[in-house]
């Protein structure tokens, strides 16, 4: 018997990188997955990969920052799988500048994807969770649900060039701890994982031609200067950046039954990197 057998998990940004690893990990433990990616192709591919392995998954693709997305995402889970047990607010990207060069658009974009979108998704899930919990209570059942918000060590300690990203990720911790207090009566564990250096396409070494990703028609530069990556690796006690699978394992800790009496907490998945 797998530990998440029959649970329904909604994971934003799960078509690539860490999100994909989270989706595959939870699916391997028996969860039914609602995948999401900004682009349809990777989102659909992950859902197909889970089904090919014998699991259950659908994809609800599109920008999590768009008006109406949260309601659509939650509705798809309820209509397809009849439940809602786990939400992982994972989707995001960085758009960096020092504060004197940062535009209002840059700052707001980071708030929108890392704070406003998770807020909207959790708000949309509130009523279904309340109704499900009421039915369980009437049946004498104690069923725990899991919310895992993804923050960053930048949200805990700040990071030069990331005033917007750090601010949004710090605020997400505040949202986590508030919902822990509001949703405890519904038997919902609300926790947060703050990542350090995880090796994904967003943290790949910058080569001669810096790569970009398209986000809502904007070309966003991605990658980190090799010398900075080397410096960070030297600061990590375990000696290297983490893999997406290791990041997913940290999220799984807060989705498993072993976390049923843990709520309002932030763990750092960073190989010992704390500043």
| Catalytic residue annotation | 165
Token couple for 153: 């060590």
Render 31-97 in DSSP notation, one character per residue: -EEEE--SSHHHHHHHHHHHHHTT--EEE--S-TTSTTHHHHHHHHHHHHHS---EEEE-------B
DSSP secondary structure code for residue 212 in this structure: E
HEC letters along 8-37? EEEECCCCCHHHHHHHHHHHHCCCEEEECC
Beta bridge mates, 59 = 35
Count Cβ neighbours within 10 Å for each residue of 165-193 and write b for 16 or more, e otherwise. bbbbbbbbbebbbebbeebeebbbbbbbb
Going by C-beta distance under 8 Å and a sequence separation of 6 or more, which residues neighbour residue 233? 197, 239, 240, 241
Q: How many residues does the chain have?
A: 275
Q: Note the Cα 66 to chain centre separation in Å.
A: 17
CB atoms within 10 A of CB 200: 20
Beta bridge mates, 10 = 34, 87
The CA distance from 14 to 88, in Å, is 9
The CA distance from 252 to 247, in Å, is 9
């Amino acid at each position: 018997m797998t530990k998440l057998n029959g649970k329904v998990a909604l994971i934003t940004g799960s078509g690539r990188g860490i999100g994909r690893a989270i989706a595959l990990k939870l699916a391997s433990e028996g969860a039914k997955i609602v995948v999401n990616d900004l682009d349809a192709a990777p989102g659909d591919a992950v859902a197909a990969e889970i089904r090919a392995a014998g699991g259950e998954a659908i994809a609800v693709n599109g920008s999590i920052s768009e008006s109406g997305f949260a309601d659509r995402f939650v509705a798809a889970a309820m209509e397809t799988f009849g439940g809602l047990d786990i939400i992982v607010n994972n989707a995001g990207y960085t758009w960096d500048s020092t504060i004197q060069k940062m535009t209002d658009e840059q700052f707001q974009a980071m708030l929108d994807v890392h704070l406003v979108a998770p807020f909207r998704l959790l708000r949309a899930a509130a009523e279904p969770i309340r109704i499900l919990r009421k039915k369980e209570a009437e049946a004498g059942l104690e069923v725990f649900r899991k919310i895992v918000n993804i923050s960053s060590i930048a949200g805990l300690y700040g990071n030069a060039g990331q005033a917007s990203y750090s601010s949004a990720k710090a605020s997400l911790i505040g949202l986590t701890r508030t919902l822990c207090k509001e949703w405890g009566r519904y038997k919902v564990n609300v926790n947060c994982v703050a990542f350090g250096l995880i090796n994904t396409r967003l943290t790949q070494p910058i080569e001669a031609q810096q790569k970009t990703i398209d986000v809502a028609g904007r070309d966003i530069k991605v990658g980190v200067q090799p010398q900075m990556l080397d410096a960070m690796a030297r600061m990590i006690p375990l000696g290297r950046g983490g893999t997406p699978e290791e990041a997913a394992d940290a999220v799984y800790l807060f989705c498993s039954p072993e976390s049923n009496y843990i709520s309002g907490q932030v763990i750092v998945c960073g190989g010992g990197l704390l500043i």
